[in-house]
């Protein structure tokens, strides 16, 4: 048998060969491992949490201005890290005097959580309407100036998990010289806007500043099994409301709302979305709803002039806002009172009808017909089936503050400034007798208001005999057809009376 021998050279060669194979294998494994690392998914970016934010527009009462409209072009929030979020991207037209002492939601969007240092606002096309004290005619003035304002949050606004309400307050009085309206009257534009931020309340009853949604009027443009989308008549903003088992419907159901003009009240959910609590169908899509202040009478007729502040429906145009609209009551409309959020205990006898419709009252007129052309010289004509008395805000100085007949109630006289619209509308009318009910919401005020205080009162204005059993004898009363005189004190004669829903300091 022939033995096989391996030489030293062959052994060395074999060892080298095996060593090379091992090295190659290690290199291959490393390359595979590195290749696997190269294709491994990148670590995802941390999720950016966002929180709902509601932008609301509020009006600050003005003694001399009846209507103030402007185009809000953009509203942009800037965070501490420099990032920005657009809250209003498409221009919207807003009229703020019918929101005086109140506010309305115009947009619901989201902000990244974090700290925000400022809000930038751009607006143009301001237009105001006031009553000429000599001619008693409405005068509309276009203001061509642009308003670009940056408001600093001091301290910075912290947006966390709780939804936020941004209340943008517009104050025409701070930029318009109401004395001598003949000139442009522009003052400090930097004082026109103020922004107040609050968190949505999730406990107890919400207030307007903490999430409650007061009356919004517009057309229903979409419905689903659990929601409706409302397009605001004046701003054109689209707002979606959830309808749940607690939502109350009047004159319609959710399934029949498409195209109707409705009034919606609501609240804010925990996530900041809007929930409808009350939905009232007002008119069909071929009808119209108009809102404003009664500012005059058409001679030799029962037709009144309404200084238009808001409107929806067939024939409504933006040019009508701020103009006079003839309201013809020839169809014997129903006269009703919007007592929502109003304590009327003991005041149920107060009257509102064709004979107690007077200059200065804030009303809404509803018509099943479209807005028509007018032959009386006004911008339009409305023939209503319903005239509804709506709350309004008046400012003045408190006098004769005293306890009422019922514990927890008070009465006082609200004395107007000489250039107040109410005083101009009714030359002898310089005071309003106010009933402060137990249910009145006092904002930044103690329960006992002192004489001499300047206040804003949001409530219903009546021209009516005093409530039954009232011992109050105001010094101002009205006699004759729609005329005010400083005469008489008899309880069965009409007087100007205001039922207060909210009273706040005039600041």
The mean pLDDT of 4-29, rounded to a whole number, is 44
Q: What pLDDT is stored for residue 2 in this prediction?
A: 42
Integer angstrom CA distances of residue 254 from 219, 250, 289? 13, 10, 20
Measured CA distances, 219 to 236, 242, 247, 288, 336 (Å): 10, 16, 18, 10, 22
Distance, CA of 325 to CA of 328 (rounded, Å): 10
Averaged pLDDT, 402-414: 91
Determine the Cα–Cα distance for residues 375 and 373; give it in Å rounded to an integer.
Answer: 7
- The pLDDT of residue 43 is 62
Residue 181 has pLDDT above 50, yes or no: no
Q: How far lies 440's CA from each of 405, 416, 432, 451, in Å?
A: 16, 21, 17, 18
Q: What angle do CA 138, 139, 141 make, to 5 degrees?
A: 150
| Confidence check: pLDDT of 309 > 90 | yes
- Split at pLDDT 50, 70, 90, the class of 471 is low
Question: For the residues 350-367, what does the mean pLDDT come to?
Answer: 94
Which one, of 448, 445, 453, lies nearest residue 503 by Cα? 445
Q: How confident is the model at residue 488 (pLDDT cuts 50, 70, 90)?
A: very low
pLDDT recorded at residue 484: 37
Q: What is the pLDDT of residue 192?
A: 82
pTM for this prediction: 0.84
Mean local confidence (pLDDT), 351-368:
94
The C-alpha atoms of residue 495 and residue 477 are separated, in whole angstroms, by: 4
Give CA–CA dist 61/224, Å, rounded: 38
Rounded distance between C-alpha atoms, residue 63 and residue 177, angstroms: 11
Give the pair of three-digit tokens for residue 7. Answer: 């030489």
Domains, the chain, with CATH or none: 50-207 (2.60.40), 212-283 (2.40.50.140), 288-389 (2.40.50), 393-505 (no CATH)
Comparing C-alpha atoms, which of 313, 308, 301 is closest to residue 363? 308
- DSSP SS3 for 261: strand
Share of the chain above pLDDT 90, in %: 54
What is the mean pLDDT of the segment spanning 386-409?
93
- CA–CA separation, 180 vs 157, rounded Å? 39
**Separation between Cα atoms, residue 461 and residue 358, nearest integer Å:** 10
Q: Is the pLDDT of residue 344 over 70?
A: yes
């Amino acid at each position: 048998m022939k033995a096989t021998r391996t030489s030293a050279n062959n052994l060395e060669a074999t060892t080298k060969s095996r060593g090379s194979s091992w090295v190659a294998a290690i290199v291959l494994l490393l390359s595979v491992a590195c290749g696997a690392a190269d294709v491994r998914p990148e670590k995802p970016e941390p999720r950016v949490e966002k929180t709902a934010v509601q932008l609301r527009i509020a009006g600050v009462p003005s003694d001399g201005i009846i209507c103030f409209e402007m185009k809000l072009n953009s509203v942009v929030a800037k965070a501490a890290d420099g990032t920005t979020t657009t809250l209003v991207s498409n221009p919207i037209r807003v009229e703020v005097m019918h929101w005086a002492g109140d506010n309305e939601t115009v947009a619901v969007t989201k902000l990244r959580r974090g700290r925000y240092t400022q809000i930038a606002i751009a607006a143009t096309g301001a237009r105001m309407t006031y009553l000429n004290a000599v001619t008693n005619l409405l005068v509309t003035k276009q203001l061509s100036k642009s308003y670009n304002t940056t408001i600093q949050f001091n301290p910075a606004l912290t947006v966390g998990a709780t939804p936020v309400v941004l209340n943008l307050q517009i104050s025409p009085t701070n930029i318009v010289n109401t004395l001598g309206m003949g000139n442009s009257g522009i003052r400090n534009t930097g004082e026109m806007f103020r922004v107040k931020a609050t968190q949505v309340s999730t406990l107890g009853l919400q207030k307007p500043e903490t999430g409650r949604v007061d009356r919004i009027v517009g057309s229903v443009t979409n419905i689903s099994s659990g929601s409706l989308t409302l397009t605001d008549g004046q701003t054109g903003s689209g707002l979606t409301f959830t309808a749940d088992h607690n939502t109350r419907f009047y004159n319609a159901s959710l399934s029949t709302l498409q195209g109707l003009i409705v009034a919606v009240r609501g609240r804010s959910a925990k996530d900041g979305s809007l929930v409808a609590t009350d939905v009232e169908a007002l008119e069909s899509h071929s009808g119209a709803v108009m809102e404003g202040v009664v500012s005059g009478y058409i001679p030799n007729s029962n037709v009144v002039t309404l200084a238009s502040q808001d409107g929806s429906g067939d024939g409504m145009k933006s040019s009508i806002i701020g103009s006079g609209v003839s309201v013809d009551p020839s169809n014997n409309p129903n006269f009703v009172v919007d007592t929502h959020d109003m304590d009327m205990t003991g005041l149920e006898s107060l009257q509102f009808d064709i004979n107690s419709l007077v200059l200065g009252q804030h009303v809404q007129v509803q018509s099943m017909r479209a807005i028509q052309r007018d032959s009386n010289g006004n911008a339009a004509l409305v023939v209503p089936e319903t005239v509804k008395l709506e709350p309004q805000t008046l400012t003045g100085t408190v006098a004769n503050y005293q306890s009422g007949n019922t514990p927890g109630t008070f009465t006082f006289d609200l004395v107007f400034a000489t250039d107040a619209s109410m005083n101009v509308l009714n030359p002898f009318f310089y005071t309003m007798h106010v009933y402060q009910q137990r249910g009145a919401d006092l904002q930044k005020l103690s329960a006992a208001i002192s004489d001499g205080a300047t206040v804003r009162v949001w409530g219903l204005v009546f021209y009516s005999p005093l409530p039954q059993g009232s011992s109050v004898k105001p010094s101002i009363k009205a006699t004759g057809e729609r005329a005010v005189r400083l005469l008489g004190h008899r309880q069965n004669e009409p007087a100007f009376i205001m039922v207060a829903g909210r009273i706040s300091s005039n600041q």
